[in-house]
Amino acid sequence: MANRVLKSVLLVFTLLLLIAVGLASYYFARVKPLITAGKQEGIYSHSSARPVVTGFGYETLTGTYQSIAALTGKVVVVDVWATWCGTCLYSIPNIIKLRNKYQGKPVEIIGVDVDDDGWAKVKPFLQKHPEINYTLAIPHPVSSFQFKSIVDLKPLGSVSAIPTVFVVDQQGRLAGKFIELGHEQQIDDLVEKLLNEGGNGNLEPTPAR
């Protein structure tokens, strides 16, 4: 009887150990690299250093599927947010101001929501906030990894804190990434510079971080 109990305990312990090892392996192989990449931010000063992100796709409120490729010729600002994120909600007025400033210019602003329930959370939120005057969307196809603020938005980039703002140049290349609050003027300046880029597609030297 004692031996049987001991074997059962050892079996349970072995299973728990295997689960723990599996979870640790998954974390270090999949989750940690996303967190590390998500924390990297900065500005790509030269067009040759900007990764192409035209393949990033999203679904709009009307059910339309689109990608960054369809916005070639426009500067695209992608604000990654969620309805549960207090700092995201705090930043919405700044996104509205940005939309108002560049109204009528080749600038597209997209608020990409990463709520687990997608439109089920966004639609009621939008009804309470009719002042939002820019495109709202959810990732399409669904992200290969999404857990709260840790999201894989290939090829746009990784996110590990929200709001995260990506700025894409008129050729569909990532020109800048800004994490959380306090970057409003930098984002505005970058949009302005991208609109005024010369034929070589380069900005004034600003090292990427």
3-state secondary structure of 197: coil
pLDDT at 183 over 60: yes
Q: How do residues 120-147 score in pLDDT, each as one tens digit?
A: 999 999 999 999 999 999 999 988 878 8
Radius of gyration of the chain (CA): 21
Report the predicted TM-score, pTM, of the whole model to 2 decimal places. 0.85
pLDDT band at 204 (very low <50, low <70, confident <90, very high): very low
* Cα–Cα distance for residue pair 8/25, rounded to 1 Å: 26
143 and 100 belong to one structural domain: yes
Output the domain CATH number for residue 147.
3.40.30.10
139 and 164 belong to one structural domain: yes
Is residue 184 included in any domain, yes or no? yes
Structural domain for 57, as ranges: 42-195
* Cα–Cα distance for residue pair 148/157, rounded to 1 Å: 16
Question: Contact 152/146 with Cβ under 8 angstroms?
Answer: yes
Query: How many other β-carbons are positioned within 10 Å of the β-carbon of residue 75?
Result: 23
Q: How many domains does the chain contain in total? A: 2
Q: What is the pLDDT of residue 152?
A: 94
Is residue 206 included in any domain, yes or no? no
Provide, rounded to the nearest whole percent, the portion of the chain with pLDDT above 70.
Answer: 78
pLDDT at 207 over 70: no
For range 29-34, the mean pLDDT? 64
Angle, vertex CA 83, rays to CA 82 and CA 87, nearest 5: 75
25 and 79 belong to one structural domain: no
Question: Contact 45/206 with Cβ under 8 angstroms?
Answer: yes
149 and 118 belong to one structural domain: yes
Q: What is the pLDDT of residue 38?
A: 78
25 and 120 belong to one structural domain: no
* Cα–Cα distance for residue pair 105/107, rounded to 1 Å: 6
Question: Contact 50/175 with Cβ under 8 angstroms?
Answer: yes
Work out the end-to-end distance of the chain between its first and last CA atoms, rounded to an integer number of angstroms: 63
**33 closest CA partner among 176, 157, 126:** 157
112 and 30 belong to one structural domain: no
pLDDT at 64 over 90: yes
* Cα–Cα distance for residue pair 38/158, rounded to 1 Å: 4
